[in-house]
A and B are shown apart, each in its own frame.
Chain A
């Protein structure tokens, strides 16, 4: 099973700041990595698929990069609605696995 490790566990930032979230895989997942955003009481929302492709309707301030084992999700300028939990997910190998999540908090 491929283990995804997200860091940091929690981030406290202010609106307007730039943030980079990390996801590291225990073995190569090529570019088969996705990022999701989840707000309290809501279902997850797909942000990025295949490492760097924005999903439909996702604002341009969200970007993804990486390949192999190291990936990042960058939010160029935090909007108040961006404070949420972010998960990475790999689909390279069965079982599909998720990272443990990074919580983005308002400072």
Chain B
């Protein structure tokens, strides 16, 4: 069974940092692109970042560029999101999501974790 389990969320002050993790199981992690998507309270979905299967290529939304960094450790089946210089508008549930196919880089997201809440507030 495919499982994605996020962790690392919490309350942080503006300007602070957090690192989110997403532990994957039930599939060959190293062959799929992975993604982060966030959802502010009561709002819609916002794509945050994508990383290729081998980690060589990454894309980030303009809203987080220069502040957030996506990475992965295929030996640990884990995806990461390093978040620096956090702002109040980064407050959201952060989901990790698996690309649907090994043959496309920006696939639809066929499996999602349960999400981890990040609150940026003083």
Chain A residues engaging chain B, CB cutoff 8 angstroms: 32, 34, 36, 38, 43-46, 49-50, 55-56, 87, 89, 91, 94-101
Contacts and interface: CB of A to CB of B under 8 A. Distances in A.
A52 to B, nearest CB: 12
A87 B59 contact: no
10 contacts: A43-B112, A44-B112, A45-B112, A49-B108, A56-B110, A95-B47, A95-B62, A96-B50, A96-B106, A101-B44
Interface size class of B (residues with CB under 8 A): 20 to 34
Contacts of A36: 45, 109
A49 B108 CA distance: 6
Give the dominant DSSP class at A's interface.
loop
Interface in B78-122: 95, 100, 104, 106-115
B73 interface: no
Interface of B: 35, 37, 44-47, 50, 59, 61-62, 95, 100, 104, 106-115
Given A44-B45, A96-B47, A98-B44, A91 B107 contact: yes
A1 to B, nearest CB: 8
B115 A43 contact: yes
Given A43-B95, A46-B100, A98 B110 contact: no
